Structure 1
Amino acid sequence: MLWITLVLFFVGGSLAQVPFLGVCPAVETVPEFDAARYMGKWYEAEKYFALFQFGGKCVTANYALSENGSVKIRNSQISSITGVASSLDGIGRLIGRSDDAKLTITFPSLPVGIDAPYWILDTDYDNWAVVWSCTNFGVFSVRYSWILTRERNPSVAVLEEAYRAIDRNKISRAYFLRTDQKNCPAMY
């Protein structure tokens, strides 16, 4: 049983890299979530470390509603090591009600099919959003969080709003890393 837990931990850890002892904490998501207002381009301002984003800069996420109600996702970044641009397309599906801010995300091009939780903890839709992902693996949980903004270089006031949402949910800010958004091409 221990080896199964360890395998799951490391496979899951390839998507989310901050392991914790204990289960995922209870968090609150946006009440009466408006998916249509959330769509569009977001810039990654800060994040928990993730191996799949190692060395990434100019990170963006684009969301678009599909006719079938799912969300088309395109995550893009430029390697600060090689300068090579890359993107990853995914599909988001709402879990439960259409006004619930909980989605599950799948990236069909990845060799391992994993459904990752994507919960919008809070957003004002126009300036900032805080996203949370946590998966339990027995006695461990693997956590990931993003602060997304509509502007590449958000003001301190915008980030402070996001921090308040993080603090309300008792999420540690100690693991957040600032995303490099300097000298990015216009298309990113």
Structure 2
Amino acid sequence: MMTKKITLSLTLAVALATSACVGKPGPVGNIAVPQPAKSVETNKYLGRWYEYGRYEAPFQKGCEAVTADYSLRDAKSSGAKIKVVNSCRKGSVDGKADQSTGRAKIVEGSNGAKLKVSFFGPFYGDYWVLDRGENYEWSIVGEPSGRYLWMLTRDEKPDAELQVMLKNRVIELGYDWSLVRITKH
């Protein structure tokens, strides 16, 4: 009985410490996050993505020139299949480089469109590819709480037509465009 209490206390302490490190989440920008619109083929999603815009999150505050690199992980590595490397420059496109490496695993039954991603310990967050281009030239990523949103493109500076399409699609998905922060590159 005492061992169970100690284990529960340690688990709660780790959870609280973890949430304190991540910081207070932002406002809910979409109270009805939709299910992903399309399946995702992992091999086509891999590679470099440039962040076009996002809901500002405490763990990304002040980040510019944001990129995300996805690659396959070694099959022996903790059951995770995908390596995630997020990079940014703090304060400006010429600011100090910052990088976080994590792992992701595909949620069974999601047609590859839902992942669980972890950047620290055994704690995983949701990562849903809500929509994507037919040729994987753009994607819109969210999660069930509606507090986080990312628009990713394969080009560092997407053309005006793609920018308008992304804005319209984000609004169609129920997100509040006034909360979007466009990323500088």
- State the TM bucket, normalised to the shorter chain: 0.7 to 0.9
In structure 2, C-alpha distance between the alignment counterparts of 1:13 and 1:167, rounded to whole Å: 30
Higher helix share: 2
Residues 1:75 and 2:75 aligned together:
no
Name the CA shift for 1:26/1:145 in 2 (closer, same or farther; >3 Å).
closer
Q: Following superposition of structure 1 onto structure 2, how do residues 9-158 of structure 1 map, counting pairs within 5 Å?
A: 11=19, 14=22, 17-20=25-28, 24-68=31-75, 70-80=81-91, 83-97=95-109, 99-108=111-120, 113-124=122-133, 125-135=135-145, 143-158=147-162
Amino acid at match of 1:133: E
Deviation of 1:38 (Å)? 0.8
Amino acid at match of 1:84: K
Deviation of 1:99 (Å)? 2.2
Paired residue secondary structure (2:120)? coil
Deviation of 1:162 (Å)? 2.1
CA contact (8 A) 1:39 1:63 kept: yes
Deviation of 1:51 (Å)? 1.3
In structure 1, C-alpha distance between the alignment counterparts of 2:173 and 2:21, rounded to whole Å: 22
CA contact (8 A) 2:26 2:58 kept: no
TM-score, length basis structure 1: 0.75
1:57-106 deviations in Å (ceiling 9; x for gaps): 11100001224361110000111269211100011111113623000100
Higher strand share: 1
In structure 2, C-alpha distance between the alignment counterparts of 1:39 and 1:63, rounded to whole Å: 5
Deviation of 1:53 (Å)? 1.3
Match of 1:138?
none
Amino acid at match of 1:60: T
Paired residue secondary structure (1:64)? strand
* Identity in percent: 25
In structure 2, C-alpha distance between the alignment counterparts of 1:56 and 1:174, rounded to whole Å: 18
Which of 169, 173, 177 pairs up with 2:173? 169
Paired residue secondary structure (1:32)? coil
Unpaired runs of 5+ residues, structure 1, are 136-141, 182-188
1:20-60 deviations in Å (ceiling 9; x for gaps): 39x95241214232111111000111000111111211110
Name the CA shift for 1:11/1:58 in 2 (closer, same or farther; >3 Å).
same
In structure 2, C-alpha distance between the alignment counterparts of 1:13 and 1:27, rounded to whole Å: 28
Paired residue secondary structure (2:105)? strand
In structure 2, C-alpha distance between the alignment counterparts of 1:127 and 1:159, rounded to whole Å: 12
Deviation of 1:156 (Å)? 1.5
